[in-house]
Amino acid sequence: MRTVLIVEDDLVNARVFSKILTKRGGLNVKHTENVEEVMQIAQAGEADVILMDVSLSRSVYQGKAVDGIKITQMLKADPKTSYLPIILVTAHAMAGDKEAFLEQSGADGYISKPVVDHQEFVDQIAALLPKDEG
C-alpha cells in the first residue's frame, strides 16, 4: 500500500486530508510537522509522496525556522530523497503564487486549501505515486 506523508501544522487539515486519502484513495497516511521526522521518514523510504504545507508556523530544523518551501528544497537537494514527489499545499493562493512556489521549491505539484473536490485531490496525489512495475 502506498504511503502519503502529510506535513501540516493544522491538525484539522491533517485529519481531513488523512480521511480523504484513506477512505477515497485507499492510501496509507503518516502525519508530522517535525522536520527531523520528515527527513527520517523520507530518507528511510517510508513515504511514496509528501503533501507539504507551505506555511509551517512552528517548524524548526537545526535551530532555524523553516517553512514547506525550505523543507522541499532540502529534500530535493538530497540524492537519497530527491526522487520523492512533493505536492505543496497552501491556503495562501494568489495569482502567480503557484508558479513561484513550484519554481522556488522544486516541488512536483501544488494544491490550494481548502480542498473542495475530494476526488480531484486524490487523483492529483495518485498521479504522482510511483507506478507499480510488472
Q: Are 57 and 92 in contact (CB under 8 A)?
A: no
Q: What distance in Å separates the CA atoms of residue 104 and residue 32, rounded to the nearest whole number?
A: 23
Confidence of residue 132 (pLDDT cuts 50, 70, 90): low
Beta-strand ranges (E) seen in the chain are 3-7, 28-31, 49-53, 60-61, 64-65, 86-90, 109-112
Neighbours of 14 (CB within 10 A): 19
Cell digits for 27?
Answer: 492510501
Q: What distance in Å separates the CA atoms of residue 81 and residue 124, rounded to the nearest whole number?
A: 20
Residue 80 pLDDT: 96
Confidence of residue 1 (pLDDT cuts 50, 70, 90): confident
Q: Please give the average per-residue pLDDT across 104-131, as a whole number.
A: 92
Q: Are 77 and 99 in contact (CB under 8 A)?
A: no
User: Does the pLDDT of residue 134 top 90, yes or no?
Assistant: no
The pLDDT tens digits of the residues spanning 12-60 come to 999 999 999 999 999 999 999 999 999 999 999 999 999 999 999 889 9
The pLDDT tens digits of the residues spanning 49-98 come to 999 999 998 899 999 999 999 999 999 999 999 999 999 998 877 778 88
